[in-house]
Amino acid sequence: MKKIYKFPEGFWWGSASSAEQSEGKGNTGKGKTIWDHWFEIEKNRFFDEVGPDVTSDFFNRYKEDIKLMKSLSHNSFRMSLSWARLFPNGDGEVNEKAVEFYNNVINTFIDNDVKPFVNLYHFDMPMAMQEKGGWESKEVVEAYANYADTCFELFGDRIEYWFTFNEPLGPVLGGYMQDFHYPNIIDFKRAAQVAFNTILAHAKAVEKFKKHNLKSKIGIILNLSPTYPRSSNKCDVEAARICDLFYNRSFLDPCVKGSFPKKLVDILKKYEQMPVYTQEDIETIKENTAQILGINYYEPRRAKAKENVVNPNSPFMPEWLFDPYILPGRKFNPYRGWEIYEKGILDLCNDVKENYGNIEGFISENGMGVADEARFIENGQINDKYRIEFIKGHLKYIHKAIEEGCNIKGYHLWTFIDCWSWMNAYKNRYGLVSLDLLTQKRTVKKSGEFYKLLSENNGFEE
Ligand code: NOJ
């Protein structure tokens, strides 16, 4: 028998993207970001040596792109503002041409009845700010708070949902622990400082936001992975708990509850990895928590007890305390190497319900990156059945989460039009709409048609 998966009325159906990954440089006099800089000095680190200069040219094509979203029945979309576009030096005077561009974009969304959700920071540190120390510097935290404040002032009257950061863990891991973002440093103590200062910057932006007395809400978007132990052996359970503290609770607790997990702090103290902070910073974090939570879910994390003794001469890493575990027989996406575990989304939502006051939330990203999608072209259109299955598989569990009382208001797919994916550039495609990189031609994929019906029917049948 067929089952109908209907979602609550007013459910947000849409997708998400970011400035650096879709806009291209444009002609507003955008300042360089760390991505522009890194690409300039190390092109070889980017797939096919494609950099962030043009990407999907949203800067010039936003009108058609937003119309296309409307025609695929999106009711909402998450974009990000580029700090380096609005403030080419990171601070100082706001760039009026950039203000005009974003006013036009926001107004076009509103005219098309697609609600813009606006994120302030998506991995795109202005290079001028990185030169001042990036997130290691308190001066940069202040400049970010000022940038956020300016955005609330300029665009606050038209935006219902604001987000301070997207996946703040990304730059910590990539930039300071695992070498996949600039500045390519390997140093956990500095990573901890970057994480702390990002959390402080989030809180300072929330503090500024509240002063504007807007009717809208502000939150944060976190990439969360439910963390499972290899077995019920107590050593594995403890390993998974520590892994979870480092990679989920480190941001979730301070951003939603206003405090850091004690056990995590104890571990950092024991290994002499604590960041520098003041009591005032702790108060700011406590008083300015998120009002809405975006959950990016792609894959679960699995951990087991360490099998080998740690090399004491290697730099400290969370993995000194557990080993990652790869589930034999797992379903996975070979292009990204990520496990696909649909039920993980239910476990995450229930975790937020039970341990984080059931804060208003939504799935702000979920999606599947696939390489060489041209091989699936049938009659001029990519027939991406796998993506439709992926979406449905996750939606079934989101539906269940809502039935179980989770406060989940919407689902945004990553992404609308294939976009530039950092070091992977255009290798893996995630869009509902394909992009021909040479001509910039957009073509709706099968998943785009499916998504349109999904939104119009507020659910699906299977
Ligand atoms: C999460 C990030 O927010 C986004 O920038 C990225 O492209 C997608 N994941 C896909 O990897």
Ligand 1 mutation pick, 421, 426, 435, max ligand atoms within 8 A of CB = 421
In the annotation, is 167 catalytic? Answer: yes
- Confidence at residue 302, expressed as pLDDT on a 0 to 100 scale: 98
449-459: per-residue pLDDT in tens?
Answer: 999 999 999 99
Give the whole-number percent of the chain exceeding pLDDT 90.
100
20, 23, 167, 373: which one is catalytic?
A: 167
- Confidence at residue 42, expressed as pLDDT on a 0 to 100 scale: 98
Helices 188-211 and 169-176 meet at what angle, rounded to 10?
150
- Give mean pLDDT, residues 383-408: 98
Ligand 1 neighbours, Cβ below 6 Å, are 18, 21, 166-167, 296, 365, 414, 421
Is the whole-model pTM more than 0.85? yes
- Confidence at residue 362, expressed as pLDDT on a 0 to 100 scale: 99
Distance of CA 169 to the CA centre of its chain: 9
In the annotation, is 42 catalytic? Answer: no
Distance, in Å, from the CA atom of 299 to the CA atom of 332, rounded to the nearest integer, reads 9
Structure tokens at 161: 């949902």
- Confidence at residue 1, expressed as pLDDT on a 0 to 100 scale: 86
SS3 (DSSP) at 194: helix
Task: Concatenate the DSSP letters of all residues of 289-324 into one string.
Answer: --SEEEEE-S--EEEE---S---TTSPP-GGGS-EE
Kindly tell me if the per-residue pLDDT of 394 is higher than 90: yes
- Give mean pLDDT, residues 171-180: 98
20, 136, 365, 373: which one is catalytic?
A: 365
Distance, in Å, from the CA atom of 73 to the CA atom of 449, rounded to the nearest integer, reads 10
Q: How far is the CA of 167 from the centre of ligand 1 (A)?
A: 8
DSSP H helices, 320-405, are 344-355, 385-403
The angle subtended at Cα 295 by Cα 451 and Cα 224, nearest 5°, is 125
378-387: per-residue pLDDT in tens?
Answer: 999 999 999 9
Are 212 and 152 in contact by the 8 Å Cβ rule? The answer is yes
Q: How far is the CA of 283 from the centre of ligand 1 (A)?
A: 31
Distance, in Å, from the CA atom of 315 to the CA atom of 328, rounded to the nearest integer, reads 29
Q: How far is the CA of 409 from the centre of ligand 1 (A)?
A: 21
- Give mean pLDDT, residues 120-139: 99
The CA dihedral of 238, 244, 246, 251, to the nearest 10 degrees, is -150
- Confidence at residue 12, expressed as pLDDT on a 0 to 100 scale: 99
Structure tokens at 39: 């690409």
Atom 6 of ligand 1, residue of closest alpha carbon: 421
Ligand 1 mutation pick, 79, 123, 167, 297, max ligand atoms within 8 A of CB = 167
Q: Which atom of ligand 1 is nearest to the CA of 419?
A: 7
47-75: per-residue pLDDT in tens?
Answer: 999 999 999 999 999 999 999 999 999 99
Please give the CATH topology (third level) of the domain spanning 4-461: TIM Barrel (3.20.20)
Q: How far is the CA of 432 from the centre of ligand 1 (A)?
A: 15
297-310: per-residue pLDDT in tens?
Answer: 999 999 999 999 99
**Which residues have a Cβ under 8 Å from the Cβ of 110 and sit 6 or more positions away?**
116, 158
10-36: per-residue pLDDT in tens?
Answer: 999 999 999 999 999 999 999 999 999
**In DSSP terms, which residues pair with 333 in a beta bridge?**
338
Distance, in Å, from the CA atom of 204 to the CA atom of 121, rounded to the nearest integer, reads 14
Sign of torsion, CA 216 217 220 226?
negative
Q: How far is the CA of 421 from the centre of ligand 1 (A)?
A: 7
205-230: per-residue pLDDT in tens?
Answer: 999 999 999 999 999 999 999 999 99
Are 139 and 133 in contact by the 8 Å Cβ rule? The answer is yes
For 174, 177, 188, 277, 356, the CA distances from 194, given in Å and listed in that order, are 11, 11, 10, 11, 24
- Confidence at residue 78, expressed as pLDDT on a 0 to 100 scale: 99
Give the domain ranges of the chain: 4-461
